[in-house]
Amino acid sequence: MVRYVPASLILRIEGYGNYSWIYTKNGERYLVSKTLSYLELHLPFFWRVHKSHLVNPQYIQGCIASVRRNSLLRLNNNQSVTVARRLKATVCRLLKEKPHPKTPIEQVGLVVPQSNHEIR
């Protein structure tokens, strides 16, 4: 069984080899058999902040803190996502600009497994 998850509900996506974990604002997570690169192409309004993280800019609190040489991006659900050192300046600039998505986010989504542990 699969279900449709609108992109507007997705907080972040974490790459895990040839799979990706999708985290929603409802606290659900789904493992899908798509690479982060594939999802980045299909969700162009998400920001690539690290080699293993895509984030939805709608859920960024807007603050980057440095902890032990690592930059962290705080999301609305109080989770932190690591920002790559080489992307820190770009992410800071994007946070100041907060551009509107290229595609209306309400019209895009992903098909994910019904169960949180099922791989599809």
pLDDT tens-digit series, residues 88-119: 888 888 888 865 554 445 556 777 776 654 44
CATH code of 2-113, in short, is 2.40.50.1020
Where does residue 55 rank: exposed (0-12), middle (13-18), buried (19+ CB within 10 A)? buried
Shortest CA distance to 57 belongs to which of 3, 96, 15, 4? 96
**pLDDT tier at 70 (50, 70, 90 boundaries)?**
confident
Please provide residue 111's backbone torsions phi and psi, each rounded to the nearest 5 degrees: -95, 125
Q: How many CB atoms lie within 10 A of CB 63?
A: 9
pLDDT digits 0-9 by tens, 30-65? 999 999 999 999 998 899 999 999 999 999 887 766
| Assessment of whether the complete model's pTM goes beyond 0.85 | no
CA–CA distance, 60 with 14 (Å, rounded to integer)? 15
